[in-house]
A = this chain, B = another copy of it.
């Protein structure tokens, strides 16, 4: 029904990986505007894509998914579709890395989550994290992309640039509440 991601060269650079990922994301959201469906598949593309990279063999990604702004409380994030172990269901704006991204509307690349003020240890296996805000053209924060790594310094500026491009496609591809 949909193309299976075909590019699985484990030695791609992060930049090459994100170029491929962006094409895959565009293919998967094409013709589908239900936000739950699109976020569920994009979480799988990100998680399994990063797992396929040699660069992450020694830096395993243990969680990739979404928190969305609670439709009934615009100062709270609630858990959306993800890949990985069970996760915290609610995060207040301003709390932890996700909450910081929600308030600042700026991507957070955190090399060591244990040094981050008010870090929320949903999974004790996580040591570094990247969180990318999803912001509507109106300026409203609709949610965040959240990815955890079991090692320190799992993510860098290449992830930031690549995921911000994915975020833009996600924002445009879905009908939001």
Residues of chain A whose beta carbon lies under 8 Å from any beta carbon of chain B: 1-2, 4-5, 28, 32, 34, 36-37, 40-41, 44-45, 48, 65, 68, 70, 78-90, 120, 122
Q: How far is the CA of A81 from the CA of B34 in the complex (A)?
A: 12
Chain B positions within 8 Å of A79 at CB level: 36-37, 40-41
In contact, B122 and A89 (Cβ under 8 angstroms) = no
User: In this complex, which of A32, A40, A79, A88 has the most chain B Cβ atoms within 10 angstroms of its Cβ?
Assistant: A40
Closest to A49 in B: B86
Q: How far is the CA of A67 from the CA of B23 in the complex (A)?
A: 25
Query: Smallest CB–CB gap between A58 and chain B, Å?
Result: 22
**7 further interface pairs, Cβ-Cβ under 8 Å (given A4-B86, A36-B36, A36-B80):** A1-B89, A5-B86, A40-B65, A40-B81, A44-B86, A44-B87, A80-B81
